[in-house]
């Protein structure tokens, strides 16, 4: 009955029918047209048209002005800070995220469940709140700033503060991607290695780490991508001094406030392309590692 | 088979110290700074008219963005998990896009489209429609940064479950709507709830994207996170942290609800939900 109705509805528009056959493989379930139409309309309005506006606007001022906007020394200094601090923060998170995931999965200790739930805090806490909290802690006279100041270490309002904020924001990515991989890791493999005479350290280096590497790489790249675009948690602690502690996202806003729409769009395009290039590169590396491991096994 | 005790305790110690330093200290700092002026000052800053209007606006924006993205997530998941069609993987990539885009850029694209010097700006101002520096722009930016959450939770689950249940219902004569309501929805209810919780938290807390389109008009286009920023930049730290503490409570409630859903659904650790 229902099928009959569906078919009749479809037949109403012959052209649409032809397109459906070309576009999709046969499925008996209803709702392809409706969900496709709705999803595509929504995505076009919310994502595709605005993104097209971004690329069009960055090109509208001509190549010369585009180039001048993205090569301005102040902008270049911000790339160095943003990408450098993001890379360093992602590396810190890769190391400590691996240790944290390992401790949470393999060991039992008091407070483990609460810590496990708290790992997602940087996702759940609004970035502006993280930003002012970190600033309050590391500022002169803050809980930690008070102790670091006599040692000559200044965190708040320096590039070091940017690093702290980006480490905070990227922490959950590595832990949450490595955790499931670690849980799926078969104990038998480790036992086999041990029975063949491998020491614990050897087993870790030769068996466990290679198995975790793809997950670690995914977590690292997610943390890196997030850190590159991060804004809220950074701007409070960064101090935002031109050439020194100014991140690229903030420069986009500065340009907007000066009504330099083309300049803002140009910098945004550079950031977008860098993020996409990075994700593409990591995916390619991931594919290569997987293939090599499969061939090796 | 396991590590020596000293290695074990060293690793646990490093983990606890790192998490304590980066997660617990900032969280405690929010509440401690908020209560620095006493309980009276804390509540005074919360019932300030500008704070109340920020809370109202945040609730309004969330009440629009979350249901919109819930409907989108269901439609997109049904489409991607139940049909095989040309461009399916492109669509999947598009859904992940907001995670790869800086929030500032998410706001910028709407300014370039609807702002006074944007593509549609002249037409909009001629017709007296204001989107940028007004509530519609804030809603749009929020929708953009939060639309993947529900879809991202549903798609892997529905792909894993397969469509046998729905096909059985279809063969028993159920209509499309009946299948959706009686078979699909109950099957995915926990993942749906999980996605909505994450979507809600991000919608209430979004800062960068909203900051670009809001214009920061006090009492009109300030959401809670923007209000926190303004108070902070005015050196009104107690009030800033008081409003921030509400958002921190929301974050804790989100983490609690998330853990509960994970326990009820029996999903255990979730990797995909993290991003």
If you write DSSP's letter for every residue of chain A in order, what string do you get?
A: -HHHHHHHHHHHSHHHHHHHHHHB-----S-HHHHHHHHHHHHIIIIIHHHHHHHHHHHHT-HHHHHHHHH-HHHHHHHHHHHHHHHHHHHHHHHHHHHHHHHHHH---TTHHHHHHHTTHHHHS-HHHHHHHHHHHHSTTSTTHHHHGGGT---TTSHHHHHHHHHHHHHHHHHHHHHHHHHHS-HHHHHHHHHTT--HHHHIIIIIHHHHHHHHHHHHHHHHHHHHH--HHHHHHH---TTTS--HHHHHHHHHHTT-HHHHHHHHHHHHHHHHHHHHHHHHHHHHHHHHHHHH-
Chain A positions touching B271 (Cβ under 8 A) are 176-177, 179-181, 215
Over residues A168-172, the mean pLDDT reads: 95
Instruction: Choose the closest CB to B12 out of A46, A107, A124.
Output: A107
Write down the pLDDT at residue A23.
58
In chain B, what's the furthest Cα-to-Cα distance? 75
Range in A41-45, A281-285, B160-164 with the lowest mean pLDDT: A281-285
- The whole-angstrom distance between B231's CA and the closest CA on chain A is 11
Chain B from 234 to 263: CB within 8 A of any A CB: 237, 240-241, 244, 247-248, 250-252, 254-256, 258-259
Question: Which of A6, A39, A229 has the CB atom closest to B75's CB atom?
Answer: A39
Q: Chain A partners of B174 at a C-beta cutoff of 8 Å?
A: 2
What pLDDT score was predicted for residue A25? 61
Query: Are A173 and B30 within 8 A, CB to CB?
Result: no
pLDDT of A2 over the 50 cut: no
Of A191 and B232, the structure prediction assigns the larger pLDDT to B232
Among A6-10, A78-82, A122-126, B33-37, where is mean pLDDT lowest?
A: A6-10
Average pLDDT over residues A208-229: 91
Nearest to B111 among A121, A171, A256 (CB): A256
Average pLDDT along chain B, 275 residues, taken 10 residues at a time: 84 96 96 93 92 95 97 94 86 86 93 87 89 93 94 91 89 89 91 94 95 87 95 94 96 94 68 39
The residue that leads in pLDDT, A87 or A203, is A87
Those residues whose C-beta lies under 8 Å from the C-beta of residue A72, and which sit 6 or more positions away, are: none
Give the tens place of pLDDT for each residue, A145-157. Answer: 999 989 999 999 9
pLDDT of residue A26: 63
Give the closest of B103, B175, B208 to A2, CB-based: B175
The yes-or-no verdict on residue A1 having pLDDT over 80 is: no
For tokens 């198995």, name the residue.
Answer: A211
Average pLDDT for chain A? 87
Task: Report the predicted TM-score, pTM, of the whole model to 2 decimal places.
Answer: 0.89
- Is the pLDDT assigned to residue A239 strictly greater than 80? yes
Q: Return the pLDDT at A295.
A: 67
Using the Cβ of B194 and the Cβ atoms of chain A, whether some distance falls under 8 Å is answered with no
Res B258: pLDDT: 92
**Spatial separation of the C-alpha atoms in residues A220 and A170, rounded to whole Å:** 9
Task: Tell me the per-residue pLDDT of B165-200, one tens digit each, with 9 for 90 and over.
Answer: 999 999 898 888 899 899 999 999 999 999 999 999
Confidence at A12, pLDDT banded by 50, 70, 90: very low
Q: Judge whether residue A210 has pLDDT over 70.
A: yes
Cβ-defined contact of A168 to B212 (cutoff 8 Å): no
Q: Which residues of A touch B108 (CB under 8 A)?
A: 54, 252, 256, 264-265, 268
Q: B147 and B71 in contact (C-beta within 8 Å)?
A: no
Residue of B nearest to A128 (CA): B225
Do A259 and B117 make contact, defined as CB atoms within 8 angstroms?
yes
**pLDDT per residue over A69-111, tens digit each?**
899 999 999 999 999 999 999 999 999 999 999 999 999 999 9
On chain A, the residues whose CB falls within 8 A of the CB of B91 are 39, 43
Residue-level pLDDT at B268: 43
């039992």: which residue's tokens?
A108
CB contact under 8 A, B23 and A126: no
Which residues of A are less than 8 Å from B15 in CB distance? 96, 99-100, 103-104, 115
Averaged over A269-288, what is the pLDDT? 85
Of A96, A102, A256, the CB nearest to B18: A96
């Amino acid at each position: 009955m229902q099928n009959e109705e569906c078919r009749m509805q479809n037949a109403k528009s012959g052209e649409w029918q032809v397109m459906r056959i070309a576009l999709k493989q046969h499925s008996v379930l209803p709702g392809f047209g409706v969900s496709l139409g709705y999803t595509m309309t929504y995505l076009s309005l919310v994502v595709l048209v605005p993104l097209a506006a971004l690329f069009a606007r960055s090109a509208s001022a001509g190549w010369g002005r585009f180039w001048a906007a993205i090569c301005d020394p102040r902008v270049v200094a911000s790339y160095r800070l943003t990408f450098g601090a993001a890379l360093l923060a992602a590396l810190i998170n890769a190391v400590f995220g691996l240790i944290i995931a390992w401790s949470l999965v393999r060991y039992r200790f008091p407070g483990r469940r609460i810590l496990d739930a708290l790992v997602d805090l940087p996702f759940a806490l609004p970035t502006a709140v993280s930003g002012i909290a970190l600033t309050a802690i590391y500022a002169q006279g803050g809980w930690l700033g008070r102790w670091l100041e006599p040692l000559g270490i200044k965190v708040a309002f320096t590039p070091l503060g940017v690093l702290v904020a980006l480490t905070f924001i990227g922490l959950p990515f590595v832990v949450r991607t490595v955790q499931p991989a670690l849980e799926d890791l078969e104990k038998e493999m480790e036992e086999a290695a041990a029975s063949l005479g491998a020491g614990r350290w050897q087993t870790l280096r030769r068996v466990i780490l290679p198995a975790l590497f793809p997950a670690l790489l995914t977590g690292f790249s997610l943390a890196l991508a997030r850190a590159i675009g991060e804004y809220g948690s950074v701007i409070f602690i960064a101090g935002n001094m031109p050439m020194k502690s100014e991140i690229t996202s903030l420069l986009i806003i500065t340009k907007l406030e000066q009504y330099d729409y083309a300049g803002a769009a140009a910098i945004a395009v550079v950031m977008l392309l860098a993020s996409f290039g990075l994700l593409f590169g990591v995916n390619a590396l991931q594919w290569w590692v997987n293939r090599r491991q499969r061939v090796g096994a | 088979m396991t590590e020596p005790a000293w290695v074990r305790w060293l690793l646990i110690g490093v983990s606890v110290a790192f998490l304590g330093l980066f997660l617990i200290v900032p969280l405690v700092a929010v509440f401690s700074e908020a209560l620095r002026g006493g309980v009276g000052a804390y509540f005074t800053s919360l019932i300030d008219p500008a704070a109340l209007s920020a809370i109202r606006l945040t609730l309004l924006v969330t009440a629009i963005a979350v249901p919109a993205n819930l409907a989108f997530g269901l439609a997109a998941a049904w489409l991607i998990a139940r049909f095989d069609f040309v461009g399916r993987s492109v669509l999947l990539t598009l859904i992940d896009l907001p995670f790869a885009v800086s929030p500032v850029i998410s706001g910028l694209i709407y300014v370039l489209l609807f702002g006074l010097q944007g593509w549609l700006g002249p037409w909009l101002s001629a017709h007296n429609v204001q989107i940028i520096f007004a509530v519609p722009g804030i809603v749009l930016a929020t929708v953009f940064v939060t639309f993947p959450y529900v879809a991202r939770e549903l798609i892997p689950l529905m792909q894993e479950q397969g469509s046998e249940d729905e096909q059985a219902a279809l063969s028993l004569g159920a209509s499309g709507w009946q299948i959706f309501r009686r078979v699909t929805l109950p099957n995915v209810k926990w993942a749906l709830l999980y996605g909505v919780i994450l979507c809600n938290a991000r919608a209430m807390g979004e800062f960068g994207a909203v900051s670009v389109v809001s214009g920061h008009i006090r009492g009109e286009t300030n959401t809670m996170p923007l209000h926190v920023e303004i108070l902070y930049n005015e050196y009104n730290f107690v009030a800033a942290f008081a409003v921030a503490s509400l958002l921190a409570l929301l974050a804790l409630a989100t983490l609690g609800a998330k853990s509960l859903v994970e326990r009820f659904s029996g999903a255990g650790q979730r990797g995909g939900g993290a991003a």
